[in-house]
Structure 1
Amino acid sequence: MTRNLHSTPSILTLLTAILLAGPALAQEPPPEPAFAERLDTAEIEPFLGEWVLEVLTQQGSLNGLITFADDDGKASADFYLSRLADVVIENISRTETGVQLKWNLDFGGQLVPVEMDLMREGDGLTGKLEAGFFNADVKGVTKEAAEAAGIIVERQPVGDDDDLARSRVEVDGQAIRLRVDRLQAPGPDYDELESLADGEVLGPIYGKPFKFWTDADLAFEDARIAAHNHGPTYPGVYSLWLKRDGDGWKLVFNHLADVWGTMHMAEHDAGETPLAFRTLSEPAEHTEGVLEMDGAAGMLTIRWGTMEWSAPFQIAE
């Protein structure tokens, strides 16, 4: 049975790729994946428990959760993926290497068959997720191991944008967009800003890094941010990170756009640029992101509590 299965704009590119590649474009919708009989719980014993997943796509990684459990003697899996899917899966079968899970993804009224194969590898999980011709690698660790490493994935309502703030500008038909999770101030993530050491990047535990899209090449003071960094048909898409730089701040652009706040990987940084900083007289209760344009010149501004950071940029020639 499926629970609250919707799309979300933060991974619309991924979903579009699935639809264009897979059988969801067929005239007749696919049937529910068939299975002869539900597995006994004992047959999935090595997988029982709570796991934190990372689904690796060409557009970046998505965070997920899966819990294998006993349902009156039968195997069941509760699967959540980054505001995209929240589903209880009963169609579970054993394979030579592990288990296979099947369900249908409902996207805009079209059903896309999804399969996920998982196997145990050491203390963790590894596998593949497939939808039509789309496929992604999957890695997993126990929830306890993830929390010990500072990785916390919180289940959020699928398709619910109430916790997001967005800003969008357009120049000559080319869009530039910014999305931020509405993190509170004061709050645990905001409080971390004061204790950041020189060179450290803020990795919000209770949200994702800011996400940035651009259809145009942009020139910041010390960074050139390219459109189409993930392919010629996609806009440039990046995660944004606040970095302490001596007594000041920098903004870091990273190619991995869909990661949790604890998962900054410096080897994927695209560049960084200085930020102007000022203290606000009227605090912002949540993170705010604002884009402004004046001709070919723009300004990216982030406000959070009593802090405001801004970075000018130009449409690159």
Structure 2
Amino acid sequence: MRTRASWVKSRGDYQATADVLFTNPSRRRTEENRGVNVTTSRRHDDDTSALSRARLLAQRNETALVLPKGPRMSVSFQRTFARSDRTDGNPNTSRGLGVDGPDFARLMQTPDGAIVMLTESSVPRLRTEVPLQFGKALIATGNQVAGFPGSYGVWLKKVGSGWRLVFNNEPDAWGSQHDPKFDAAEIELSHSDGHAAARPFAVAIVPDGAARGRLVILWGPHEWTADFVTSSRTIP
């Protein structure tokens, strides 16, 4: 079965549209996924990017935005599995960040000035091919290797009665292993609640113009947002 739809985003005079095709995924194994204990002969220069991406998306969701001139930004974050979906039998696979988990239960008890700890997930990971400006904070490219996209871990932080978002130079950290020595920037977040209470943790990058967007983090009834613009600035 195939279903076609159109995705439309409107804000003010700006409107973005995209055609969407929903298809039933094939269960046929590919050359990149032959199964357990099946050997594969590879050359040193073989392109394994498809296999790496398949493995990434088996455990993480991704939200991405591609700008008109080509630069791409994305945030990957832990997938949340219902108990009925867990058929792999691997006790080390994270269940993710549902509202029935211990991390969500501790969310609103986060101490003032503390990072929100995620014991069942790695930290969400931002990757950007263009510098992003959140207010006065510049999220630059090249923070890991000069000339390459920027890569950051992003952490929620409770500050007084509000919330902030911390960009950290360790994008592959586990969600309970924040090291403030590697913090690169910190921005204010807008927060609202009263949304659908059952939503698992998720992140979205929402376009708001040719060079503008909004970063949205949601978890249960809570929603945090921050607006950004793309920047031509480089690392100081």
TM-score of the superposed pair, with normalisation by structure 2: 0.67
* TM alignment of 1:227-306, pairs within 5 A: 227-293=141-207, 294-306=209-221
Structure 1 distance, partners of 2:215, 2:50, is 36
Superposition RMSD in Å: 2.7
- Max Rg structure: 1
Deviations, residues 132-185 of structure 1 (Å, cap 9, x unaligned): xxxxxxxxxxxxxxxxxxxxxxxxxx9263442211101121101011113111
* TM alignment of 1:42-61, pairs within 5 A: none
Q: Does 1:307 align with 2:222?
A: yes
Aligned equivalent of 2:71: 174
Q: Which has the higher contact order (CA 8 A, sep 6+)?
A: 2
Q: How many residues align?
A: 174
- Matched residue type, 1:298: G
2:212·2:228 contact (CA, 8 Å) conserved in 1? yes
Aligned equivalent of 1:25: 45
119, 125, 129: which one pairs with 1:215? 129
2:215·2:225 contact (CA, 8 Å) conserved in 1? yes
- Matched residue type, 2:71: Q
1:222·1:274 contact (CA, 8 Å) conserved in 2? no
Structure 1 distance, partners of 2:109, 2:50, is 47
Task: Give the unaligned 5+ runs of structure 1.
Answer: 6-18, 27-105, 111-157
1:230·1:237 contact (CA, 8 Å) conserved in 2? yes
TM-score of the superposed pair, with normalisation by structure 1: 0.50
Shift of 1:222: 4.0
* Alpha-carbon distance change, 109 to 281 in structure 1, aligned in 2, over 3 angstroms: closer
Q: Which shifted more, 227-236 or 297-306? A: 227-236
Task: Give the unaligned 5+ runs of structure 2.
Answer: 1-34, 80-96
- Matched residue type, 2:63: S
Shift of 1:234: 2.2
Structure 2 distance, partners of 1:259, 1:203, is 12
* Alpha-carbon distance change, 222 to 300 in structure 1, aligned in 2, over 3 angstroms: same
Structure 1 distance, partners of 2:65, 2:162, is 27
Shift of 1:295: 1.5
Deviations, residues 22-64 of structure 1 (Å, cap 9, x unaligned): x8139xxxxxxxxxxxxxxxxxxxxxxxxxxxxxxxxxxxxxx
* TM alignment of 1:117-266, pairs within 5 A: 159=55, 161-171=57-67, 172-182=69-79, 183-266=97-180
Aligned equivalent of 2:94: none
Shift of 1:186: 2.7
- Matched residue type, 2:55: G
- Secondary structure in structure 1 of the residue aligned to 2:65: strand
- Matched residue type, 1:165: N
1 or 2, which has the higher strand percentage? 1
* Alpha-carbon distance change, 276 to 181 in structure 1, aligned in 2, over 3 angstroms: same
- Secondary structure in structure 2 of the residue aligned to 1:191: helix
Aligned equivalent of 1:89: none
